[in-house]
Amino acid sequence: MKKEQKKEKELMNECKRCLLYEMADRDLYTRIRRTIEAIPASMRCEEEAYQARLASCKTCEKLISGMCRVCGCYVEVRAAKREEHCPLPGEKLW
């Protein structure tokens, strides 16, 4: 493994309050984007709401490396679904 790839992997493991698009693993992000795009439009929230949800997730201490430590989801996928909500017990962020 190249030094740059190793360093990127180390940074990814330590990225608190980061979303996947901000991290080094482009392959994973590409797969997640495809998953989001496969959600039927009628089940996806509007872009403005989606961005607001992600902004809320970025403020949460439970977000690490693009995943929610409460439920284990990739927040970028969960936030894209209209009927989903923040899984944080008691004080849902969205």
Mean of pLDDT values over 5-10: 49
CA 67, 72, 78, 79 dihedral sign is: negative
Residue 4 pLDDT class (50, 70, 90 cuts): low
Residue 8 pLDDT class (50, 70, 90 cuts): very low
Pick 65 or 54 by higher pLDDT: 54
Cβ atoms of 13 and 65 closer than 8 Å:
yes
Considering the domain boundaries, does residue 94 fall inside one? no
Considering the domain boundaries, does residue 84 fall inside one? no
Considering the domain boundaries, does residue 8 fall inside one? yes
Considering the domain boundaries, does residue 89 fall inside one? no
Number of domains composing the chain:
1
Pick 72 or 17 by higher pLDDT: 72
Considering the domain boundaries, does residue 91 fall inside one? no
Q: Please give the residue range of the domain that contains residue 59.
A: 3-78
pLDDT in tens, 9-61: 554 456 787 888 777 678 888 999 999 999 999 999 999 999 999 999 999 99
Considering the domain boundaries, does residue 42 fall inside one? yes
Considering the domain boundaries, does residue 90 fall inside one? no
